[in-house]
């Protein structure tokens, strides 16, 4: 019996230290990232960094509350209740702030007036009962949850979970104007995965209430906050004020003339490709791919890629990036004093690393050295 108690005590001590370690790292990362983005929130022409910095600071506040509760013995995550009211509300506020970040990137300054009120309405609905002092039933088991499933306080918590799921997938369906937005399909997909993963781990945590899901949730959020803070400070290409003032009219579609049935294996699609790429400047669109180009031309990606290779000796990606860099170099020759990082955005790049790498590849020097040589 003595050995059994010693082992149990040792396991409890290890679990206690693991809790503090996870929440401590999460607090440090969230606090540092939140402060950094808050201080640099005005460097972008939208409120995206404001939303993400508030999300990070909210996570830091939640983690320090958790650490305080653990140290004082008030909380034990192994005994938390199902659909805990405070956790449900905190999760809803967090995912709302997390959704505001991509909304600002995809639709700059869209969240104003009634749209801002509508965006925060679910959080307000869930918060009002708490503000008026209504008591939420604590659910200690699935039997209690099933027994009180139709109670208003349980339903309102399920409503908050439902909005978590809706918000985590919302950015996939947000239409945006690529001429104004500093996002592309890859960014949208990555952030959607982050949001859905956060929602998945959070829902598992509040519904199953097992420590492993709490740890997975904390780890996932720690990585996501760190990654997108790094992305904002070192990777994202920020549009210039001029780009933000451009018309938000939809992009025109190339009017490819109807042609009779031909043998696509021998037909030369180059004039049509040139019309799409040169006349309509499809290379400016960060989402232009060989698939979208082949659809505009009216054939498949194999023939388009082969046609570009035959006429230029380059792959599709090199062909696109060469046109972008050539335009950028021409603009710098006209005005070497302009900010070349804004030109990254204007020519269709959404990553500083990608833009810099291609500039060196096609020009043979960095943008800074190229500008110095012009002087």
Confidence of residue 150 (pLDDT cuts 50, 70, 90): confident
SS3 content of the chain, % helix, strand, coil (to 5): 70, 0, 25
Confidence of residue 246 (pLDDT cuts 50, 70, 90): low
Structure confidence by residue, pLDDT tens digits, 158-179: 888 888 888 888 888 888 788 8
- Residues 315, 309 contacting (CB under 8 angstroms): yes
- The pLDDT of residue 247 is 45
Structure confidence by residue, pLDDT tens digits, 58-93: 999 999 988 887 777 766 655 567 888 888 888 889
The Cα 336–Cα 135 span in angstroms is: 65
- The pLDDT of residue 211 is 81
For residues 360 and 167, the model is more confident at: 360
First to last CA, the chain: 83
**166, containing H or E segment:** helix 152-170
**What counts of helices (H) and strands (E) characterise the chain?**
16, 0
Q: How many CB atoms lie within 10 A of CB 367?
A: 20
Helix, strand, or coil (residue 119):
helix
- The pLDDT of residue 269 is 85
> How is 333-344 classified by DSSP, letter by letter?
HH-TTS-HHHHH
Please check the confidence at residue 157 and state whether its pLDDT lies above 90: no
Domain boundaries, the chain: 2-236, 266-374
- Residues 342, 240 contacting (CB under 8 angstroms): yes
Confidence of residue 359 (pLDDT cuts 50, 70, 90): very high
- The pLDDT of residue 260 is 52
Structure confidence by residue, pLDDT tens digits, 2-51: 444 455 556 556 666 787 888 899 999 999 999 999 999 999 988 999 99
The Cα 272–Cα 253 span in angstroms is: 13
Please check the confidence at residue 134 and state whether its pLDDT lies above 50: yes
- The pLDDT of residue 270 is 92
- Residues 243, 342 contacting (CB under 8 angstroms): yes
CATH number of 2-236: 1.20.1070
Residue 123 to residues 37, 71, 93, 218, 236: CA-CA distances in angstroms? Answer: 24, 30, 6, 22, 30
Structure token digits, residue 330: 């021409």
Residue found under tokens 């043998």: 263
DSSP 8-state assignment for residue 78: G
Structure token digits, residue 196: 């859905």
pTM of the predicted structure, to 2 decimals: 0.85
- Residues 234, 36 contacting (CB under 8 angstroms): no
- The pLDDT of residue 12 is 59
Phi, psi of 351 (to 5 degrees): -140, 130
Structure confidence by residue, pLDDT tens digits, 186-241: 899 899 999 999 999 998 888 887 888 888 999 999 999 999 999 999 999 988 76
Helix, strand, or coil (residue 269):
coil
- The pLDDT of residue 263 is 59
Closest CA to 223 of 3, 5, 16, 25: 25
DSSP 8-state assignment for residue 284: G
The Cα 250–Cα 261 span in angstroms is: 31
Residue 289 to residues 106, 185, 282: CA-CA distances in angstroms? Answer: 19, 11, 9
The Cα 284–Cα 280 span in angstroms is: 9
Q: Does CATH place domain 266-374 in 3.20.20.150?
A: no
- The pLDDT of residue 25 is 93
Strand partners, 139: 82
- The pLDDT of residue 4 is 45
> 136-147 as b/e, with b when 16 or more CB fall inside 10 Å?
beebeeeeebee
Structure confidence by residue, pLDDT tens digits, 254-312: 445 445 555 566 678 899 999 999 888 899 999 999 999 999 888 889 999 999 999 99
């Amino acid at each position: 019996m003595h050995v059994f108690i010693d082992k149990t005590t040792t396991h409890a001590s290890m679990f206690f230290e693991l809790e503090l370690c996870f929440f401590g790292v999460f607090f440090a990362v969230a606090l540092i990232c939140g402060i950094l983005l808050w201080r640099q929130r005005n460097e972008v022409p939208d409120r995206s960094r404001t939303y993400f910095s508030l999300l990070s600071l909210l996570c830091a506040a939640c983690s320090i509350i958790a650490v305080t509760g653990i140290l004082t013995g008030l909380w034990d995550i192994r005994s938390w209740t199902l659909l805990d009211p405070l956790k449900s509300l905190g999760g809803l506020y967090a995912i709302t702030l997390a959704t505001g970040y991509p909304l600002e990137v995809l639709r700059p300054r869209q969240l104003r007036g009634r749209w801002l009120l509508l965006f925060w309405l679910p959080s307000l609905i869930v918060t009002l009962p708490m503000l008026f002092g209504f008591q939420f039933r604590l659910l200690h088991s699935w039997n209690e949850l099933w027994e009180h499933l139709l109670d208003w306080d349980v339903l309102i918590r399920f409503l908050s979970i439902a909005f978590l799921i809706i918000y985590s997938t919302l950015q996939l369906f947000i239409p945006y104007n690529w001429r104004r937005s500093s996002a592309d399909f890859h960014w949208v997909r990555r952030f959607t995965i982050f949001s859905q993963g956060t929602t998945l781990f959070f829902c598992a945590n509040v519904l199953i209430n097992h420590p492993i899901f709490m740890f997975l949730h904390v780890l996932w959020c720690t990585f996501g906050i760190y990654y997108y803070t790094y992305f904002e400070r070192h990777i994202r290409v920020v549009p210039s004020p001029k780009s933000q003032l451009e018309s938000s009219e939809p992009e025109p579609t190339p009017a490819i003339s109807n042609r009779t049935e031909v043998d696509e294996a021998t037909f030369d699609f180059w004039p049509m490709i040139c019309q799409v790429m040169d006349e309509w400047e499809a290379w400016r669109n960060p989402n232009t791919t060989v698939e979208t180009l082949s659809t505009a031309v009216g054939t498949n990606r194999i023939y388009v890629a082969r046609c570009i290779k035959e006429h230029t000796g380059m792959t599709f990606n090199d062909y696109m990036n060469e046109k972008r860099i050539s335009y950028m170099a021409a603009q710098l020759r006209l005005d070497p004093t302009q900010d070349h990082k804004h030109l990254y955005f204007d020519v269709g790049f959404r990553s500083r690393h990608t833009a810099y790498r291609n500039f060196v590849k096609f020009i043979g020097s960095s943008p800074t050295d190229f500008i110095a040589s012009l002087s």
